[in-house]
Amino acid sequence: MTTRDVAVIGAGSFGAWTALGLRRRGASVLLVDQYGPGNARASSGGESRILRMGYGPDELYTRMSMRSLAQWQALDPAAPEPLFRQTGVLWLARRADRYTADTLATLARAGVPHEALDADAIRARYPQFALDEDVRGILEPQSGALMARRAVQAVVREAVRAGVEYRTAGVAPPGAAPDGAAPDGPGRRMPAVRASDGTAIAAGAFVFACGPWLPKVFPDLLGPRIFPTRQEVFFFGPPPGDDRFAPPAMPAWIDFGAEVYGLPDLEARGFKIAPDRHGAAIDPDAAERLVGAESVARVRGFLARRFPALAAAPLLETRVCQYENTSNGDFLIDRHPDRENVWIAGGGSGHGFKHGPAVGEYVAALLAGAGAPEPRFALAVKGVVQQRAVY
């Protein structure tokens, strides 16, 4: 059996960019995904994701977003269709909201172009929004939307072009490695894992970037620490000939008070609205991805309040995807505590997709011994109770 330098398990945003980052450092890499890049079950699937810089006081993530935007844009010209749309991103919050004040300070410190807007200024620029008087906003004009499924597939194509081997296959949990290869104590190396066809995948190191499947791969270690949740997404149809809900008239937006976000009508797929509040637990393999009537009614209520012109808009499409949350929303990127050549990269927590390029660079540097670990990403600080702190 062929032994590569690294096998990356999971071809979502984190895994695909990690494979590419490792290859750019000269490693021989196998990238494996059980359903394919951007598949309908994946957290990195679906139509679109917001790429924003604002993170309250968390300059760590602002800097990662800045680095990632540059790499997504560098990849864009080689793709047959656009990967990034510079729609701008509009934050909505109450005037006294501390998180918004911290975001303004962080954006200024990091040199991110932005504008602070009061309710009148937002109405003048975006009259589609119905707002209370105490609302204020932040506009990031250079931020926007990533075309998620397409973007992940483009990263995998680029990785393959650079010399990464890609394979569609399931991978058994490491405890089921072939020929008794799984380690049985701390510090042991894992020479191989078993693919779904029974063959062995051998590598010098393994990166598990499996998103909501991580608790299944490492049930004892991550079952209590990664929380996959069901998240519903809705696409509504604007009136015929009405371009107010498509770029450039409409930005991507985040309503922090309501815990709802949305994207403009991109490529005539519909006006996207999604609750950001964590949903119920979900099994990413077995869940039937149907949205119930009560969920539709709740979203329609929000639509009528915030975008009155769409109150009677037809519902064109719904999706059910998932977040894989850590206890507080920080990523989990660390070495397995008992397997010295096994690494974990996950815990995207609903905001990770855009950070794929920065995560890929970070993981590749760690494996090369060239990077300093970020304490916030350590397994040791991941709790077993959800107390969300990163948005």
pLDDT tens digits along 192-231: 999 999 999 999 999 999 999 999 999 999 999 999 999 9
What 3 state SS string does the chain have? CCEEEEEEECCCHHHHHHHHHHHHCCCCEEEEECCCCCCCCCCCCCCEEEECCCECECHHHHHHHHHHHHHHHHHHHHCCCCCEECCCEEEEEECCCHHHHHHHHHHHHHCCCCEEEEHHHHHHHCCCCCCCCCEEEEEECCCEEEEHHHHHHHHHHHHHHCCCEEEECCECCHHHCHHHCCCCCCCECCCEEEECCCCEEEEEEEEECCHHHHHHHCHHHHCCCCEEEEEEEEEECCCCCCCCCCCCCCCEEEECCCCEEEECCCCCCCEEEEECCCCCECCCCCCCCCCCHHHHHHHHHHHHHHCHHHCCCCEEEEEEEEEEECCCCCCEEEECCCECCEEEEECCCCCCHHHHHHHHHHHHHHHCCCCCCCHHHCHHHCCCCCCCCCC
**Is residue 1 pLDDT above 80, yes or no?**
no
Domains in the chain, CATH or no CATH each: 1-70+147-226+326-391 (3.50.50.60)
The whole-model pTM stands at: 0.95
175 — pLDDT class (breaks 50, 70, 90): low
3 — pLDDT class (breaks 50, 70, 90): confident
**Is residue 181 pLDDT above 60, yes or no?**
no
What percent of the chain is predicted at pLDDT more than 70?
A: 96
Q: Hey, which of 59-63, 170-174, 186-190 has the most confident mean pLDDT?
A: 59-63
95 — pLDDT class (breaks 50, 70, 90): confident
